[in-house]
């Protein structure tokens, strides 16, 4: 085992999580000890991750693990967003019959899984990270065990997730057969070699493997036509878990996509570009069109996520470094914008009342202008209206698609973003133009309000100064 | 770099708007009043310090903003954009006065939204970077969406969503065109886009993309249908700003983007553009004649007048083909003066309707009659603005229309003939409305109970009347600053790009 220290943040996180798990057994169900310990763990891990930014790329653990600019910055974002998730969901899990210490412990394990995915440069470590994340999420979806909808969602998630894992493993094994390695760097080198080292049959084998790999990835990302599980899982899961699933894991999924397709299989880019272009186009169209018909916020967000996955893929379709940084920017901004939106939904819900219907937000502008303002910013950002940060995310992926000659995809994208604007506007309309259905006050805890205010400021502030993240994203692929 | 007047004019109202919303309803009116006057004062040096002898961009500022995309925070004005900025800041003052007593529901948000929108609109007219322009152009949709949606009439949700989606759909095509040109030339600088070599196909596609954005915004027939809805449902000040300034973004876009970037495609498409402009002038004029709702009537009248603007712009290519450069400048300047003049007149008309609506709560023409008997001062203003809207000589409404008709005459008698129909139609629908609303015996008890305008309303209308009269008798007050820039534009669009 060489270079173990490059994984210090993950090792610390896992060790601390185990400690939190034990502590959780001894504290009272109502105490906030586990919550604070979890936040402390995340903050310390964040500091450790941040300290890795700027270092040269180091590969260790027999080539299975790499720390570079990409991994360090993505990990930091995952951790920042996880801190936000825990903050927003604290009262939600506290007020419901959810095993709250398990919620935080499973969340920490999922974060560890994401961090491993971000750094993995070996198919085994990619898979390891992915399954650690996925298994934690299956359990989190099922935390509401008395709720039939939640159990059903968890089953669906588990079965389809396992199917996707199977696809991934099958693709990986074929690529192993074709190239003789699971190490992504080695795979890249072998595929880049000339025809003498790689016979025609082996190239075909690698392409088959690639196809299965992409199917698996599309399942995990929720790209059309492998998206069937997304709406049901989003709707069935407790809202705090929906928030979890829809934010930070997108960043990890982006990392996995880049590590596999760019790190290992970039030589086959002519093959995967076409597949991703179709997945991207279908996801944008289907996601946006079906989202219009939804009355449940969580389902609406599920379809909206599908459409955003389409945009995310649009950046990668070009197979250029600027496209990858555009997608990275998209993943990060999408995650913290969605975090803000779900944060508001959680703040509006209370014990015995799930704010999961669109009408549950009616009159929020009158009840709590700050929350409504944050939601407004999140919505215009998701719709891609300047000056919110989501506009630059769309701009950069469109720019990379046009640059790579996929102008038709870019045009489809902008038309679909207008369709998307319709249902985001509807939320603004419900909050500001409709009268409140009741006069129950909406007053979340002070730290939650502060968190949401910061989150909303980030959505608009990073829109005014998008260079702050953009620079890091470009550096990651320089 | 000298003192950043443009940045001040953009950010002062935006920050003031945020502050107004943050501080709540109590100090909102006074704050908004102070902010709007300060913004107007901040913008005045643009006019008085303007060097009308040059076509160079003036008051320039430039900062690297998003270096990875070569997007700069680049500002500057020439004779085409500067008058529109002054118009914007003036209308903002009028808006605050008009809302002073009228808005009871959440005044801080209302005034804050208008203040923010003022800054964004100034940003539209002063951006020298295409992406910065796009950002301001789109961002104006958000406050307007909220203004119509929160303070609008009964069908406000339908109207505001339609408004947003129509204009958003139009401008995303522009976004793709901008990205495409950035990929070709490596820059978003508007001035360098002007010099970007483009072949015929590229020009056509880019022209159409821009057309989608600007035709919807201005709005041209047949993509105008969002406008009457938006106007009818918008609160008074919303209608005023929409007609006075937001529509001008479309006309400005044609002048700043379509013509110089795609001169050959514009020249090839000129017949098409002239025809749909004339349809707007004539057909929409007839539609206006049939309206029963005063706001709708003025909205259709706006579309008809904007048809004049596009006519003046695209007639230019006919005249270029004839080698009549003076005629080209006449048409373009006519279009620009028409935009400014319409800004004041339409704002005034909407505010007049607002004054009556505040008292009677109806915009139906049939609910009035004989208003002059109970509101003589108001009636004087209303008749004056109606005359200006009909293009009476001596008012600003005459100048632009006359110049455009004169330019049309130089190309084709029938174009000029059809365009001049607006003088008859415009007079018909405005005067007929005035006749039914203002003149005659008192129509009903509600009109009998009317009280004349107070001093706040008086000054609001008087300011606008002064501007309408000033431009009417001394058109050079705005025409003078335009010459050099227009000549430069003519030079540019008469040179083929390939």
Chain center to CA of A17: 21
- Residues in A closer than 8 angstroms to B127, CB to CB, are none
| Residue B337, domain extent | 5-494
What value does the mean pLDDT take over residues B410-427?
A: 87
Mutating which of B67, B69, B154 best tests the A interface, going by the most A Cβ atoms within 10 A?
Answer: B69
Q: CA angle, B422 as apex, B419 and B425 as ends, to 5°? A: 145
Beta bridge partner(s), residue A58: A67
Q: Do A411 and B165 count as a contact with CB atoms less than 8 A apart?
A: no
> Does residue A28 contact residue A56 with C-beta atoms inside 8 Å?
no
CA distance B224 to B218: 8
Question: Residue B455: is its pLDDT beyond 90?
Answer: no
- Residues in B closer than 8 angstroms to A399, CB to CB, are 69, 179, 182-183
DSSP B198-223: --HHHHHHHHHHHHHHHHHHTTPTTS
Q: Do A470 and B66 count as a contact with CB atoms less than 8 A apart?
A: yes
Domain tally for chain B?
A: 1
What's the confidence (pLDDT) of residue A266? 84
Question: Around A455, how many Cα atoms within 13 Å sit in the side-chain half-sphere?
Answer: 37
Question: Residue B361: is its pLDDT beyond 90?
Answer: no
CA distance A254 to A391: 19
CA distance A100 to A91: 10
> Does residue B432 contact residue B366 with C-beta atoms inside 8 Å?
no
Mutating which of A366, A399, A466, A468 best tests the B interface, going by the most B Cβ atoms within 10 A?
Answer: A399
Beta bridge partner(s), residue B73: B63
Q: Do A399 and B141 count as a contact with CB atoms less than 8 A apart?
A: no
Closest CA to B47 of B95, B6, B94: B6
What's the confidence (pLDDT) of residue B1? 55
Q: CA angle, A242 as apex, A238 and A245 as ends, to 5°? A: 135
A204-230 exposure pattern, b = at least 16 Cβ within 10 A, e = fewer: ebbbbbbbbbbbbbbbbbbbbebbebb
Residue B74: DSSP 8-state: E
> Does residue A96 contact residue A238 with C-beta atoms inside 8 Å?
yes
Q: How far is B139 from chain A (nearest CA, A)?
A: 6
What's the confidence (pLDDT) of residue A361? 84
Q: Do A396 and B165 count as a contact with CB atoms less than 8 A apart?
A: no
What value does the mean pLDDT take over residues B280-307?
A: 90
Q: What do you get for the CA distance between the two ends of chain A, in Å?
A: 29
Question: Around A384, how many Cα atoms within 13 Å sit in the side-chain half-sphere?
Answer: 28
Radius of gyration (C-alpha) of chain B in whole angstroms: 21
Radius of gyration (C-alpha) of chain A in whole angstroms: 21
Length of chain A equals: 478
Q: Do B165 and A422 count as a contact with CB atoms less than 8 A apart?
A: yes
pLDDT in tens, A188-245: 888 877 556 667 777 888 888 999 999 998 988 889 888 889 999 999 888 899 999 9
Chain B touched by A470 (CB under 8 Å): yes
Nearest CB partner across the interface for A386, out of B68, B139, B165: B139
Question: Residue B266: is its pLDDT beyond 80?
Answer: yes
Nearest CB partner across the interface for B68, out of A411, A421, A471: A471
Evaluate if pTM is beyond 0.80: yes
Phi-psi sector, B192: left (phi>0), alpha (psi -120 to 50), beta: alpha
Nearest CB partner across the interface for A470, out of B68, B136, B157: B68
Residues contacting A464, CB < 8 A, separation 6+ = A387
pLDDT in tens, B58-85: 888 888 888 888 889 999 998 899 999 9
Question: Residue B52: is its pLDDT beyond 70?
Answer: yes
Residue of A nearest to B71 (CA): A467
Chain B touched by A395 (CB under 8 Å): yes
Mean of pLDDT over chain B: 89
- Residues in A closer than 8 angstroms to B188, CB to CB, are none
- Residues in B closer than 8 angstroms to A425, CB to CB, are 145, 161, 164-165
Phi–psi pair at B371, nearest 5 degrees: -60, -25
**In what helix (H) or strand (E) does residue A244 lie, and over which residues does it extend?**
helix A239-246
Which segments of chain A have a pLDDT < 50?
none
Chain center to CA of B181: 27
Q: Do B183 and A396 count as a contact with CB atoms less than 8 A apart?
A: no
Beta bridge partner(s), residue A67: A58
Chain B touched by A414 (CB under 8 Å): yes
What's the confidence (pLDDT) of residue A53? 79
Question: Residue B111: is its pLDDT beyond 70?
Answer: yes
What value does the mean pLDDT take over residues B32-55?
A: 88
Pairing mode of beta strands A65-67, B58-66: unpaired
């Amino acid at each position: 085992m060489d270079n173990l220290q490059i994984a210090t943040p993950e090792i610390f996180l896992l060790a601390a999580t185990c400690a939190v798990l034990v502590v959780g057994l001894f504290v009272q169900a109502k105490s906030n000890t586990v919550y604070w310990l979890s936040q402390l763990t995340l903050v310390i891990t964040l500091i450790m991750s941040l300290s890795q930014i700027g270092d040269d790329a180091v590969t260790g653990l027999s080539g299975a693990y790499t720390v570079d600019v990409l991994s360090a910055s993505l990990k930091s974002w995952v951790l920042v967003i996880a801190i936000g998730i825990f903050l927003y969901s604290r009262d939600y899990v506290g007020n419901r019959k959810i095993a709250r210490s398990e919620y935080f412990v499973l969340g920490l394990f999922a974060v560890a899984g994401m961090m491993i995915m971000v750094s993995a440069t070996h198919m085994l470590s990619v898979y390891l990270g992915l399954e650690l994340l996925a298994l934690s999420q299956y359990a989190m979806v099922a935390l509401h065990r008395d709720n039939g909808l939640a159990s059903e969602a968890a089953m669906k998630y588990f079965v389809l997730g396992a199917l996707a894992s199977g696809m991934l493993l099958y693709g990986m094994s074929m690529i192993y057969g074709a190239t003789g390695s699971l190490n992504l760097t080695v795979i890249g080198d072998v595929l880049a070699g000339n025809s003498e080292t790689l016979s025609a049959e082996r190239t075909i084998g690698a392409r088959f493997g690639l196809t299965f790999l992409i199917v698996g990835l599309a399942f995990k990302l929720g790209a059309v036509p492998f998206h069937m599980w997304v709406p049901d899982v989003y709707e069935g899961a407790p809202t705090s878990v929906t928030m979890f699933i829809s934010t930070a894991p997108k960043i990890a999924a982006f990392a996995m996509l880049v590590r596999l397709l760019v790190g290992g299989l970039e030589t086959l880019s002519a093959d995967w570009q076409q597949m991703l272009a179709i997945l991207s186009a279908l996801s944008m169209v289907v996601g946006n069109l079906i989202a219009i018909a939804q009355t449940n916020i969580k389902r609406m967000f599920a379809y909206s996520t599908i459409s955003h996955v389409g945009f995310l893929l649009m950046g990668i379709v070009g197979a250029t470094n600027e496209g990858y940084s555009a997608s990275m920017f998209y993943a990060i901004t999408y995650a913290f914008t969605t975090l803000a939106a779900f944060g508001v939904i959680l703040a509006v819900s209370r014990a015995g009342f799930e704010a999961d219907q669109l009408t549950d937000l009616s009159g929020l502008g009158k009840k709590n202008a700050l929350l409504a303002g944050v939601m407004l910013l999140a919505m215009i950002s998701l719709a891609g209206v300047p000056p919110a940060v989501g506009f630059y995310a769309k701009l950069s992926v469109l720019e990379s698609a046009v640059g790579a000659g996929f102008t038709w995809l870019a045009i489809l994208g902008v038309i679909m973003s207008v369709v998307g604007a319709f249902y985001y506007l509807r939320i603004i309309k419900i909050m500001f133009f409709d009268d409140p259905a009741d006069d129950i006050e909406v007053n979340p805890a002070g730290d939650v309000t502060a968190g949401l205010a910061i989150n909303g400021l980030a959505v608009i502030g990073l829109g005014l100064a998008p260079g702050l993240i953009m620079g890091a994203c470009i550096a990651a692929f320089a | 770099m000298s003192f950043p007047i443009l940045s001040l004019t953009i950010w002062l109202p935006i920050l003031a708007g945020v502050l107004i919303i943050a501080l709540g309803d109590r100090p909102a009116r006074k704050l908004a009043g102070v902010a709007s006057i300060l913004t107007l004062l901040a913008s005045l040096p643009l006019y008085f310090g303007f060097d009308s002898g040059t076509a160079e961009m003036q008051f320039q500022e430039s900062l690297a903003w998003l270096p990875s995309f070569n997007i700069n925070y680049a500002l500057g004005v020439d004779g085409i954009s500067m008058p529109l900025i002054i118009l914007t800041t003036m209308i903002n003052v009028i808006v605050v006065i008009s809302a002073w007593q009228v808005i009871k529901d959440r005044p801080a948000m209302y005034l804050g939204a208008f203040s923010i929108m003022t800054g964004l609109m100034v940003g539209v007219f002063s951006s020298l970077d295409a992406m910065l322009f796009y950002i301001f152009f789109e961002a104006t949709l958000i406050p307007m969406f909220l203004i119509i949606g929160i303070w609008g009439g009964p069908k406000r949700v339908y109207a505001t969503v339609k408004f947003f989606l129509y204009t958003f759909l139009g401008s995303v095509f522009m976004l793709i065109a901008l990205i495409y040109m950035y990929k070709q030339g490596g820059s978003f600088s508007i001035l360098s886009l002007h010099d970007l070599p483009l072949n015929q196909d590229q020009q056509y596609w880019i022209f159409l993309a821009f057309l989608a954005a600007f035709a919807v915004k201005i709005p041209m027939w047949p993509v105008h249908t969002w406008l009457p809805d938006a106007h009818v449902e918008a609160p008074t000040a919303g209608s005023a700003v929409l007609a006075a300034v937001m529509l001008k973004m479309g006309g400005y876009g044609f002048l700043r983007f379509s013509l110089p970037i795609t001169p050959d495609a514009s020249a090839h498409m000129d017949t098409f553009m002239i025809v749909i402009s004339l349809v707007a002038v004539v057909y929409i004029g007839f539609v206006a004649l049939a309206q029963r709702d005063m706001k709708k009537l003025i909205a259709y009248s706006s579309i008809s007048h904007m048809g004049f603007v596009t006519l003046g712009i695209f007639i230019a290519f006919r005249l270029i083909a004839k080698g009549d450069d003076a005629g080209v400048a006449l048409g373009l300047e006519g279009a620009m003066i028409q935009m400014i003049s319409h800004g004041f007149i339409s704002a005034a008309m909407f505010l007049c309707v607002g004054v009556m609506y505040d008292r009677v709560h109806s915009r139906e023409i049939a609910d009035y009659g004989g208003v002059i008997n109970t509101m003589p001062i108001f009636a004087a203003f209303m008749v004056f603005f109606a005359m200006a809207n009909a293009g009476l000589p001596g008012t600003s409404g005459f100048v632009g229309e006359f110049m455009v008709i004169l330019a049309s005459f130089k190309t084709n008698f029938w174009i000029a003939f059809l365009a001049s129909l607006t003088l008859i139609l415009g007079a018909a629908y405005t005067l007929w409305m005035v006749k039914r609303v203002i003149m005659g015996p008192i129509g009903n008890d509600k009109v009998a109970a009317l009280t004349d305008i107070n001093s706040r309303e008086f000054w609001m209308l008087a300011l606008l009347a002064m501007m309408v009269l000033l431009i009417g008798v001394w058109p050079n007050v705005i025409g003078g600053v335009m010459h050099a820039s227009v000549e430069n534009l003519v030079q540019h669009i008469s040179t083929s790009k390939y």
